[in-house]
Amino acid sequence: MHPSMIVVRKASAEERLPLYRMLELYQHDLSDIWDQDLDVHGEYGYSLDRFWHDTDCHAFVALVDGKYAGFALVDTAVKVGPAGFWMDQFFVLKKYRRSGVGRELATQVFAALPGKWEVGQMTENAAAQAFWRGVIKDYTRGDYWERRLTDGWWQGVVQGLEVKPIA
């Protein structure tokens, strides 16, 4: 599938429910490597409150031809090093994977928030590691670092990069 029109924008308050529902799909996709259980309502129940109440958190949605295709959640309070931004969660619906939607979402989110970045992937998520290595390598023309962390709050692979403001 090759999408004809990809739009990436900051999520509005009206998009909170679609974003929440995509988060449920995301968590289900990762349920074989992310140890979580459903709550009494049959949901994973990821809280989005901080993305609407905290100015240090940012929620983005991606749409293809006007239909929701994915999201990116960015936080500045969470990081493993001195970076300013942490890619908290990132998801593209299976229908749109390997079609350029994820790459477009990532690059537009980076461009919207210039500064130091960290992007982490779970050790078991080889597909995410390959995706982010490719996107970040291309976006930075190879000017980034990567580490595998084995202790601390985050255990997995992390890439760091700096996004320059668009002149």
Q: Which CATH number fits domain 6-163: 3.40.630.30, 3.40.50.620, 3.10.20.600, 3.40.50.10260?
A: 3.40.630.30
Residue ranges covered by each domain of the chain: 6-163
Q: How far apart are CA 110 and CA 5, in angstroms?
A: 19
Strand order in the sheet with 145-149: 6-10, 57-64, 67-75, 85-92, 115-122, 156-163, 145-149
Across the range 23-31, mean pLDDT stands at 81
Mean pLDDT of the chain: 88
Residue-wise pLDDT for 85-144, tens only, equals 999 999 999 999 999 999 999 999 999 999 999 999 988 999 999 999 999 999 999 999
